[in-house]
Structure 1
């Protein structure tokens, strides 16, 4: 039975899982056999400026906020795992980390593909074909990036926790009791996953950028960077729809993103599932962070 309740999202962190409900965020990390959990109340700029909750706009805002939350969660988990007692990242550090992450993504997935397309396309002049080639190059770069990191030992464990996060959310959304035995039977693939979101971003960018023709390289890169928030917003709306709809069309359109998650998720063990479930229980309850 489908559970009626708040939408839950999350991500893997170092040796753990971060879960996020509309009201709370919880980070659960495995350390020396125990689960250390930190919980805090969410803040969104959309609550202060309600117009940011409008369709498409809310997607661009959600992307930035999830980057900030993700950086903080990774920083916290790294501190727990390494026994680092230093203070958490301050606002300046988080801002710099988010800017660097965005800059890396823009260079790798926008600047590099559009420059490479210039050499691949040869004498092709059709703007749509050029944008299509650029989009396919972008997807290929993304696939090669995922394949290259997936063989790293630490990344494999990260992907196992990613799978645990998805199984826990599936268990919750199916209305079952949040136990390891119930959660382990579910798939590691989820339609609202960030991996699927990134693939949708790349497909939407092909369609949107094609409307601008094929200007000079400086104008091309500038337009792509400026339009990225709109691309992210449109992609967010599709992922939101995919998470709610059972229509055949939406399932077909979502399938490539689910296939791609086979690269970014792995089957977790029981201890990893336990961590994900504890993070999930924490955001669904009124309690504070704890060690168990």
Structure 2
């Protein structure tokens, strides 16, 4: 196995029975169909930063990247659920129409028009999906921002000093986050998803070390990767604890509101930290990333060969043939 280590900016996420990879020019999603074959879709990359270069500045670029990946990641999850056969047949056409390119949407709409009375409305499905996403975000805010603040606020007889309260609040938030991931990791469907997460990491490691992208080669690498969304979220929580220590405890509603308003700043700073750490392999940076690697033991699982095969197909689809194009 070669020791050459090429740090790549290619990354992605696990989806239902598949892996999505985002490369320097395009994004690909490979999904295992119920019959066993691998379905591959690709898209040309686009970002609001292409139209507004100012959004590519430090801090701002992290916020934009986070929002874009959140939205796109949700769409790929919905699409992969349909491809893998998880969605009911009556829901599939509406989801595909929502996720398709403009030209594909025209063809889909024309074909669906004949069955308009029987098929569910694409706009209705989109609204339901959007509502589900917003509801999920609200629940996340309530669980990880509001609940810790409320719990600590009403233990003022135990914790008095503001900085200590912030540390206690951060500890509660971190405990909820780890507990939430631990509970998820016990669900059978999530175990399967985490296997694809592990396959994504192993495949990227294989590419970074210059080995041929084969199942046998990828299998030998660790499933824990420093430039992972799990590590990023952990850094967000830690930076949030630091920022929260400067926010008043006098009024709980004001505190929560200020934390929400400062969340983009926390996300942007966290993005710059993980980007810097990924480029500098020093003892300090490895220490910064180590807790995220430990946490990935909950969010990844050892993949089987069929999962590695899917991840490899997805990664191969976004490679340009020039390793310099995707250098971190």
What TM-score bracket applies, with the shorter chain setting the length? over 0.9
1:26 alignment counterpart: 28
Query: 1 CA distance for matches of 2:270 and 2:97?
Result: 32
Look up the SS of the partner of 2:155 in the other structure: helix
For structure 2, the 5+ residue unaligned runs are 100-122, 322-328
Structure 1 residue 108 displacement after superposition: 1.3
1:72 aligned onto 2:81: no
What CA distance in whole angstroms lies between the structure 1 residues aligned with 2:229 and 2:156? 30
Query: Residue 141 of structure 1: which of 176, 183, 202 is its match?
Result: 176
Answer yes or no: is the 8 Å Cα contact 2:49–2:55 preserved in 1. yes
Whole-angstrom distance in 2 between the partners of 1:165 and 1:181: 14
Question: For the residues of structure 2 that align with 1:105 and 1:169, how far apart are their CA atoms?
Answer: 29
Displacement of 1:213: 3.4
Structure 2: distance between partners of 1:193 and 1:35: 25
The Cα offsets for residues 227-269 of structure 1, whole Å up to 9 and x where unpaired, read as 0000111111111122222100010111111000000000001
Partner residue, 2:310? 275
Question: How far apart, in 2, do the equivalents of 1:117 and 1:256 lie?
Answer: 24
Residue by residue over 1:41-76, the C-alpha shift from the partner in whole angstroms, topping out at 9 and shown as x without a partner, is 111111111111111111111110010110111011
Cα distance, 1:97 vs. partner?
Answer: 4.7
Root-mean-square deviation (CA, aligned residues, Å) is 1.8
Matched, 1:53 2:65: no
Alignment partner, residue 289 of structure 1: none
User: Which residue number corresponds to residue 11 of structure 2?
Assistant: 9
CA contact (8 A) 1:128 1:213 kept: no
1:75, 1:89 within 8 Å by CA — same for their partners in 2? no
TM-superposed deviation, 1:276: 0.3
Shift in Å at residue 214 of structure 1?
Answer: 2.1
Instruction: Please say if residues 10 and 165 of structure 1, whose CA atoms lie closer than 8 Å, have aligned partners that are also in contact.
Output: yes
Confirm or deny that 1:89 pairs with 2:98: yes
Bigger Cα displacement from structure 2, 133-142 vs 87-96: 87-96
- Is the deviation greater in 78-87 or in 185-194? 78-87
Decide which moves more: 205-214 or 179-188. 205-214
Structure 2 CA distance for aligned equivalents of residues 212 and 282 of structure 1? 46
Query: Pairwise mapping of residues 143-162 of structure 1 onto structure 2 (< 5 A)?
Result: 143-162=178-197
For 1:248, the equivalent position in structure 2 comes to 283
Unaligned runs of 5+ in 1: 287-292
After TM superposition, the score normalised by the length of structure 2 is: 0.83
* Contact residue 71 and residue 97 of structure 1 kept, 8 A: no
Comparing 175-184 with 68-77, greater Cα deviation is found at 175-184
> What are the superposed Cα offsets for residues 107-130 of structure 1, whole Å, 9 maximum, x if unpaired?
111011111112334343211101
Residue in 2 that maps onto 1:99:
134
Give yes or no for contact 2:24–2:318 (8 Å, CA) kept in 1: no
Task: Give the SS at the match of 1:26.
Answer: strand
Counterpart check, 1:185 vs 2:220: yes
Question: Matches of 1:57 and 1:130 in 2, distance apart?
Answer: 30
Q: CA offsets, 1:211-235, max 9 Å, x none? A: 2232311101100100000011111
3-state SS, counterpart of residue 214 of structure 1: coil
Between the two proteins, the alignment pairs up a number of residues equal to: 285
Tell me how far apart the structure 2 counterparts of residues 176 and 147 of structure 1 sit (CA, whole Å): 33
Structure 1 residues 87-96 or 24-33, which shifts more? 87-96
